[in-house]
Structures are given as C-alpha cells and as structure tokens.
Amino acid sequence: MMKLHWSPRSPYVRKVMIVAHELGLADRIETVRTVVGGTTPHLALMQVNPLGKIPTLMLEDGTALYDSPVICEYLDTLHNGPKLFPSWPERLTAVRQLALGDGMLDIALAWVGERFRSTERQSAPHMALWEAKLRACVDALESETDALDTGALTIGHIGIGVALSYLDFRFDGLRWRDGHERLAAWHAAFDARPSVVATPVVDDR
C-alpha cells in the first residue's frame, strides 16, 4: 500500500486526496500524520524528501514522490478512466489552471503566516500586495468561468477549487464571491462533488 505523509490542515494534501477519491484510489493510500513547518525540522521525513514538506507519497518500492502536482500526475496513471491530466492541447489549459490554483495557495499561505506574527511585526505592504494578487486571480477566474464549465474535470479544476475553498476558510473578509457570481456558482458545484465532500477543509490546530 502507498503511504502519504499527510495533514488535514494542508490544502496541498487536500488536493491530492480529492484526486485519490475522484480516481477511486483512496483505499490504496495509507495516510500518515506528519507535522512539518515552524522551526523544527522533521528529520525522518527529510530522509526521503529533503525539502521536509507534505504531501510526500511513498510508493511500495520505497520511491518518494513530491510535491502535490507530481503526486497527482502519478495517481492519474493508475486508472483507466478519463485523465485529470489530459492530452495536448487540453493539457496546456489544465496545467495552467493548476499553476494558478497552486500560486493562489502559495500567496494565501504567505499571508496567513504574516497574520500569525505580532501586529507590530506584520508587514502591511506585503499583506496589501498579497491581497491585490489574490483579487486579481479571482477576477481572472471570473472572466474564464465559461471555460471552467466546459469539458471533463481536470487537475486544473481541482487546483482552482481547492484554492477558492482555502480563501473561504482563512479569509472571510476577502469576500471573493462579491461581484463574481459565475465563479461562485461554479465553485458551489465543485464543492458538491463526492470526492470534495469526502475531503473536508479541517483546522485541528
């Protein structure tokens, strides 16, 4: 059985688990609770993934796969159904959307980290920049919602859906749905997928 170094708080892990459920592979993966971050290195994890990050997927032969896009693409090779990573030229759109979703998560996590600092140590210019970037991303997604609604589910849809869910979870004040009704409707449909319902956003801090 494959083993996934995992935490319910990680949106990148959530993306992998949504893919696993979507492809019917969740029962082939054992999740191993792994705490990373902060200032204490996870030395055991770093022996297989020198970045010391999750998700890290351990294959049965001992091969370690990281990070989440690599793991998702590997899982996509283990089934015979429609691929989340489609062939070209559709692949170009899917991986671009995945890059946008992952980039939104990178920005949001940096913002979250800044908000955990004491008020006097927070950088208001950085926080304003990150908010502006996230709002620009949401504006761009609203303009291409029609494209999101067409065709089969891809890894791009999952990446964007997970990113928007994380904005809901961490940034109530961002109110990204305001003025983005079509994107909000698309995300509501994404949230209703069984694979997404099976992988809820959790904060067990």
- What is the domain partition of the chain in residue ranges? 2-75, 90-193
Residue 205 pLDDT exceeds 70: no
pTM of the prediction? 0.95
Cα 178 to Cα 195: distance, rounded to the nearest angstrom: 26
Q: What is the DSSP letter of 48?
A: T
The pLDDT value given to residue 204: 58
- Where does 2-75 sit in CATH, by number? 3.40.30.10
Average pLDDT, the chain: 94
Residue 82 pLDDT exceeds 70: yes
Cis ω on the peptide bond leading into residue 67 (within 30° of 0)?
Answer: yes
Furthest-apart CA pair in the chain: how many Å?
A: 54
- Concatenated DSSP letters for 62-81? S-EE-SHHHHHHHHTTS-SS
What is the domain class of 90-193 according to CATH? mainly alpha
- Tens digit of pLDDT for each residue in 12-55? 999 999 999 999 999 999 999 998 877 788 999 999 999 999 99
C-alpha distances out from residue 188 to 84, 157, 164, Å: 20, 12, 10
The pLDDT value given to residue 115: 86
